[in-house]
Chain A
Amino acid sequence: MTYVRELIAPQPAPLAPARPVTGARIAAIAILILWALFAAGLVAMVVGGWDQDKFLRYGPRYLNGLWTTISLVCLAVVFGALLSLPIAFARMSQNRALNGIAYAYVYVFRSTPLLAQLFLIYYGLGSFKPQLESVGLWWFFREAWYCGLLSFVLNTAAYQAEILRGAIESVPRGQHEGAAALGLSKRVAFGKIILPQALIVALRPYGNELVLMIKGSAVVAIVTVYDLMGETRYAFSRTFDYQAYLWAAIFYLAIVETLRHVWAFLEARLTRHLKR
């Protein structure tokens, strides 16, 4: 009778295969080195070209510009959301004429550049000075800030109407029918059942729209509003120092990245009941 007399001594774990040096790895390291060089160059430019005088003169102006950008975007998004409601409902209505008008509005404002819309409002409507004065609206169209706000509101309303419409239409029919079966009136069903589900779908596109708005708001600098971009252009035109643009880039990147992370957190928080 044979049996095992001695156990095999424990063996060391097999060696991990050496990771081959592939072309991708070399390329990756090369690109990362390039990025590091860029970053080092940026830091060197800021440290080497540091000027206390310029910093004290233009630093507060940058913060002012930052505040202008943020307030402009926030107001535009809020007013745009209000304006987008009737457009979205018109777009979903059975009425041919209403639907057509809303569609035309959305199409026109989504397929022309924001810059052209801004020029049309600021320079274009601004050329009707006597008529506007007689209506009592000249104070509005005289100010570049108001014109920028108006063009942003009109522009973002078109985008937000499409977001809202898509979200509401993404709620399945069964939800409407379920609400009707429970005897809820149309309005209660919309407010309590359809809209909450639609807004969760719309959350991510709304975040994207906010980021696009922040980036788009830089165009008001061209019509003499001193937002972040405007202050940057001012500082550059005075000093011819390339750092002006780098600081603006840092500010914009910081805003957008913060917003992105806040939005990701919000989304995770608001959809936690949907996780399986």
Chain B
Amino acid sequence: MSGFFSALFSALDPLCGPVGLFSLFGSGTLVACGEAGWGDEIAFGVGITISLALATLPVGLFLGFLIALAAQSEEKLLRRATGIYTTIFRGLPELLTLFIVYYGLQILIQSVLASLGYEGRVEINAFLAGMVALAVVFSSYSSEVLLSAFRAIPRGQYEAGDALGLHRGRTMRLIVLPQLIRIALPGLTNLWLILLKDTSYVSVIGLADILRQTGIAARVSKEAFFFYFIASLLYLILAMISSFGLGFVERWAKRAETAR
């Protein structure tokens, strides 16, 4: 069964599959697939970029949702605690956040292990570090988007939930959340496009994403302009595909409004 799925995926691979871009137009050039060119390495980088962004998204959204909930609570201390979080992570450059997380986690884990009596070197996974750093940044931005969406929902909606005898969790899930998604979607679309671009920073800590793979190809083949052009083009295509797809989602979320 797994063999069937992997065969299906390799058949549908948009870059190096039988009907992929690189295999159709790139054979005999520098971006040919397989041993002859850099096509398959770059396709691997595209996979890493997409999977990093997709893995970061749910974590960042969930964290951002919690922070937005805390930021609109009646408890002043809670609001202050979230204020510190968003101020720090919206003020730091993403690259610096990445380094702080990458080296910081390494030092933290190493010192914890040292106190337990383990004296080895710890190498943290670059994918994990990138995911944590990007999720932290994404959550602090998305909390602002979600907070303003929360504020756009009138109090009467919560009161209506109370009047129907729904408890708070159900009010949130059945009444507030559907409206929240509709209001916050344009802002979140923007953040997703920013996230997609920010994944390029992980190439600096050695994760084999698009920019890293094309960089290696550029250094080896001495065709820097060509390969970085390909990298930019790939990011452009990813952005186009996502804004196209998210346009559909937006229309789907607004279907109740247009009918009115």
Contacts and interface: CB of A to CB of B under 8 A. Distances in A.
B235 A215 contact: no
Nearest to A25: B75
A135 to B, nearest CB: 16
Given A120-B232, A124-B228, A242-B104, A28 B211 contact: no
Nearest to B106: A242
Interface string B78-112: 10110010011011111110011001100100000
Interface size class of A (residues with CB under 8 A): 35 or more
B126 to A, nearest CB: 15
Given A32-B77, A32-B80, A253-B88, A115 B218 contact: no
B63 interface: no
Interface in A102-120: 108, 111-117, 119-120
Closest 6 CB pairs of A and B: A124-B225, A111-B239, A28-B78, A28-B77, A113-B200, A218-B93
Nearest to B242: A111
Interface of B: 70, 73-75, 77-78, 80-81, 84, 87-88, 90-96, 99-100, 103-104, 107, 193, 197-198, 200-201, 203-204, 211, 215, 218, 222-226, 228-229, 231-232, 235-236, 239-240
Contacts of B103: 236, 242, 245
Contacts of A75: none
A31 interface: yes
Given A113-B197, A221-B95, A25 B229 contact: no
B116 to A, nearest CB: 19
B228 A120 contact: yes
Contacts of B80: 28, 32
A233 B93 CA distance: 14
B228 A229 contact: no
A214 to B, nearest CB: 8
Contacts of B81: 28, 31-32, 35
A22 B78 CA distance: 11
B99 A245 contact: yes
Interface of A: 22, 24-25, 27-29, 31-32, 35, 108, 111-117, 119-120, 123-128, 211, 214-219, 221-222, 229, 232-233, 236, 242, 245-246, 248-249, 252-253, 256-257
Given A35-B81, A112-B235, A256 B75 contact: no
Contacts of A113: 197-198, 200, 211, 235
B211 to A, nearest CB: 6
Given A27-B78, A242-B107, A248 B229 contact: no
Contacts of A256: 90-91
Given A111-B193, A125-B225, A116 B200 contact: yes
Contact of A222 (B77, B88, B204, B240): B204
A253 B77 contact: no
Given A24-B73, A24-B74, A117-B232, 11 more contacts: A27-B78, A32-B80, A113-B200, A115-B203, A115-B211, A120-B232, A127-B225, A215-B93, A215-B94, A236-B103, A252-B93
A229 B94 CA distance: 11
Contact of A127 (B77, B91, B222, B239): B222
A105 to B, nearest CB: 12
A256 B223 CA distance: 38
B209 to A, nearest CB: 10
B96 A249 contact: yes
B96 A123 contact: no
B96 A119 contact: no
Nearest to A121: B228
A236 B102 CA distance: 13
Nearest to B78: A28
12 contacts: A111-B193, A111-B236, A112-B236, A116-B200, A116-B228, A123-B225, A124-B229, A127-B223, A127-B225, A128-B225, A218-B95, A252-B91
User: Max chain B CB contacts within 10 Å: which of A24, A28, A217?
Assistant: A28
A217 B96 CA distance: 11
Nearest to B226: A124
A232 B80 CA distance: 30
B91 A108 contact: no
A22 B229 CA distance: 56
A222 B200 CA distance: 12
Nearest to B198: A113
